[in-house]
Amino acid sequence: MKHDLIVIGAGPGGYVAAIRAAQLGLNVACIEKEAALGGTCLRVGCIPSKALLESSEKYHEARESLHRHGVGTGDVTLDLGVLLRRKDQIVTMLTKGIDGLFKKNKITRYAGHARIAGAGKVVIEGAEPKELQGTHILIATGSKVANLQGVELDGDRIGTSTEALNYPEVPKHLIVIGAGVIGLELGSVWLRLGAKVTVLEYLDRILPGMDSDLVAEAHKLFTKQGFEFKLSTKVKAARVDGKECVVECEGAEPLRADRVLLAVGRVPNTENLGLESAGVQVDKRGRITVDDHFATSVKGIYAVGDVIRGPMLAHKAEEEGIACVEHIVTGFGHVNYDAIPGVVYTQPEIASVGKTEDELKLEKHEYKKGSFPFMANGRARALGDTSGFVKILADAKTDRILGVHIIGPRAGDLIAEAVVAIEFGASSEDLARTCHAHPTLAEAVKEAAMGVAERTIHF
Ligand SMILES: Cc1cc2nc3c(=O)[nH]c(=O)nc-3n(C[C@H](O)[C@H](O)[C@H](O)COP(=O)(O)OP(=O)(O)OC[C@H]3O[C@@H](n4cnc5c(N)ncnc54)[C@H](O)[C@@H]3O)c2cc1C
């Protein structure tokens, strides 16, 4: 049982690295402790949450806005069982797809919990323990939910995103602790399906780290949708009390709800991996320390994805997995961290790439900006979805694009053009002089780029 590369964890970082390494001619093994491949992303993250977001959006649309298009629906009903089963089927189809890709690429799959037993040696724990030898070992064990002191998770009424993907009934009142991406996406699902949703956030703003203009607009729009935000609120405790949950916050009356979703972030997953005995260093936050080519402090051991520094995003993990194995095999491979998009799949969507305006101000970087509202975009009018805007930030001297921030319809798809522009080192004028099809939402990106030179046409 000797392999060129042993990958620990079959999430987006691990499975993508395994496939690319096999394409490059390595003999690859991948060890996964869960029954299904695909990691957090496919099993209990990106994919199931997006399936629920789509279904809940359709329900909400049928109830609230289809009539504006002249479409009558009669009584709109919700079959939560069907909605949840559809989500499960999508997950099963995609995770089985990875099985197929492993077979196609002749990757040896091992089931069980992996532990590094020294350079080049991995032990698989379980009923029938195994020992594998590998020239290279890649750790891609991802992350797990961060706990909050005083919050008593019972895996049912007080739970994490995993439970919130499967509530057996629509909560009457859902309290979300944490106004980050996961809290707002899953909060949106249950709000649209009829729950009252209260979001408690320690900071004085939602979506920490995102551009302040987007955040201000998002806060306004989400409040209009019915989200109740309690900002600057420190949660001290949460516990189940009969069929209810009680949440205690500093300096306020306790809140009661039938469900609580804890969504205050995620922490690297390095439990029982044998890092210490192998000599693999971690930083203060428990993340495995790596160099620019994902090499850890131990020769022949690498790490990618949520378990190392940087944004906890599936596409970031994938890019790292590919760059890491390409570097092992060819000596080349890198990730451009200035061009990693971040998307919040709420309604409207929010998407960003590059520097925020807040960061540029802090760095005293001189910049110009242009923006364009979807209200002035023909396609957004036709869609009946005119909220939000596109904002482009460019270097004051060179005009090179530094950041693009979008809140509005299909922002998650629109951002791809901005990512390519940043990757290619484009100027705002490059974008402004590129022909965009009419009528499309993408014209708002072009107009925002024209706005950098104060020459928008339609606003
Ligand atoms: C609700 C939710 C929604 C999300 N939505 C998005 C989104 O829309 N877009 C986005 O980009 N990101 C999203 N994310 C984040 C995304 O899921 C992660 O960034 C991504 O999965 C990280 O990939 P990874 O390969 O590093 O780790 P993971 O996907 O966590 O995979 C790690 C794998 O390693 C396995 N493992 C761990 N330890 C061992 C061991 N010792 N032995 C064997 N196997 C082990 C785990 O079982 C797991 O399968 C979401 C996350 C959540 C929770």
pLDDT in tens, 19-77: 999 999 999 999 999 999 999 999 999 999 999 999 999 999 999 999 999 999 999 99
For ligand 1, whether the C-beta of 268 sits within 6 Å is no
For ligand 1, whether the C-beta of 321 sits within 6 Å is no
Given a contact cutoff of 8 angstroms between Cβ atoms, the answer to whether 257 and 198 are in contact is yes
For ligand 1, whether the C-beta of 388 sits within 6 Å is no
For ligand 1, whether the C-beta of 373 sits within 6 Å is no
Probe target for ligand 1 pocket from 19, 46, 288, with the most ligand atoms within 8 Å of CB: 46
The alpha carbon of 441 and the centre of ligand 1 are apart by a number of angstroms equal to: 31
Spatial separation of the C-alpha atoms in residues 234 and 236, rounded to whole Å: 6
Torsion angle of C-alpha atoms 212, 215, 220, 221, degrees rounded to 10? 140
Sign, CA dihedral 273-276-278-281, equals: positive
Longest dimension (CA), the chain: 69
Convert the pLDDT of each residue in 308-330 to its tens digit.
Answer: 999 999 999 999 999 999 999 99
Q: Which atom of ligand 1 is nearest to the CA of 31?
A: 43
Average pLDDT in the 134-155 region? 97
Share above pLDDT 70 across residues of the chain, in percent, rounded to a whole number = 100
Share above pLDDT 90 across residues of the chain, in percent, rounded to a whole number = 98
The alpha carbon of 44 and the centre of ligand 1 are apart by a number of angstroms equal to: 8
**DSSP letter at 151?**
B
Spatial separation of the C-alpha atoms in residues 345 and 207, rounded to whole Å: 12
Nearest to 318 by CA among 84, 11, 92: 11
Given a contact cutoff of 8 angstroms between Cβ atoms, the answer to whether 221 and 138 are in contact is no
**pLDDT reported for residue 295:** 98
Spatial separation of the C-alpha atoms in residues 336 and 261, rounded to whole Å: 34
Nearest to 54 by CA among 184, 171, 226, 192: 192
Spatial separation of the C-alpha atoms in residues 49 and 226, rounded to whole Å: 20
Residue 105 has pLDDT above 90, yes or no: yes
Spatial separation of the C-alpha atoms in residues 301 and 118, rounded to whole Å: 10
pTM above 0.85, yes or no: yes
3-class SS string, 177-207: ECCCHHHHHHHHHHHHCCCEEEEECCCCCCC
10 Å Cβ neighbour count for 240? 15
**Residue 374, burial from CB neighbour count under 10 angstroms (0-12, 13-18, 19+):** buried
54-61: long-range contacts, CB 8 A cutoff, minimum separation 24 = 55/83, 55/86, 55/87, 56/83, 56/188, 56/189, 56/190, 56/192, 56/193, 57/192, 57/347, 59/83, 59/192, 59/193, 60/192, 60/193, 60/347
Residue with CA closest to ligand 1 atom 15: 313
Average pLDDT in the 355-379 region? 98
Given a contact cutoff of 8 angstroms between Cβ atoms, the answer to whether 342 and 311 are in contact is yes
For ligand 1, whether the C-beta of 11 sits within 6 Å is yes
**pLDDT reported for residue 1:** 83
**pLDDT reported for residue 336:** 97
**pLDDT reported for residue 119:** 80
Q: Which atom of ligand 1 is nearest to the CA of 305?
A: 26
The alpha carbon of 299 and the centre of ligand 1 are apart by a number of angstroms equal to: 25
The alpha carbon of 306 and the centre of ligand 1 are apart by a number of angstroms equal to: 7
Residue with CA closest to ligand 1 atom 45: 9
Residue 237 has pLDDT above 90, yes or no: yes
**pLDDT reported for residue 127:** 75
Residue with CA closest to ligand 1 atom 34: 9
In sequence order, what DSSP letters do the residues of 312-350 get, joined into one string? Answer: --HHHHHHHHHHHHHHHHHS-----GGG--EEE-SSSEE
10 Å Cβ neighbour count for 447? 25
For ligand 1, whether the C-beta of 219 sits within 6 Å is no
For ligand 1, whether the C-beta of 45 sits within 6 Å is yes
**Encoding tokens for residue 445?**
């990106």
Given a contact cutoff of 8 angstroms between Cβ atoms, the answer to whether 350 and 206 are in contact is no
Given a contact cutoff of 8 angstroms between Cβ atoms, the answer to whether 205 and 219 are in contact is yes
For ligand 1, whether the C-beta of 142 sits within 6 Å is yes
The alpha carbon of 10 and the centre of ligand 1 are apart by a number of angstroms equal to: 9
In sequence order, what DSSP letters do the residues of 4-55 get, joined into one string? Answer: EEEEE--SHHHHHHHHHHHHTT--EEEEESSSSSSHHHHHHSHHHHHHHHHH
| SS3 label, residue 98 | helix
pLDDT category at 5 given cuts 50, 70, 90 is: very high
Query: Any residues with CB less than 8 A from the CB of 81 and at least 6 apart, and which?
Result: none
Probe target for ligand 1 pocket from 95, 116, 141, with the most ligand atoms within 8 Å of CB: 141
pLDDT category at 126 given cuts 50, 70, 90 is: confident
Peptide bond between residue 254 and the one before it cis (omega within 30 degrees of 0): no
Average pLDDT in the 210-217 region? 97
Q: How far is CA 300 from CA 141, 270, 294, in A?
A: 17, 18, 10
In sequence order, what DSSP letters do the residues of 258-270 get, joined into one string? Answer: SEEEE-S-EEE--
Spatial separation of the C-alpha atoms in residues 45 and 144, rounded to whole Å: 11
Q: If you average pLDDT over every residue of the chain, what do you get?
A: 97
For ligand 1, whether the C-beta of 51 sits within 6 Å is no
**Encoding tokens for residue 382?**
């036709």
Q: How far is CA 134 from CA 7, 17, 98, 117, 303, in A?
A: 9, 15, 22, 11, 15
The alpha carbon of 11 and the centre of ligand 1 are apart by a number of angstroms equal to: 5
Residue type, 80: L
**pLDDT reported for residue 122:** 97
Give strand pairing partners of 196: 173
Residues noted as catalytic = 438
The alpha carbon of 272 and the centre of ligand 1 are apart by a number of angstroms equal to: 17
**DSSP letter at 282?**
B
Query: What's phi and psi for 4, nearest 5 deg?
Result: -70, -40
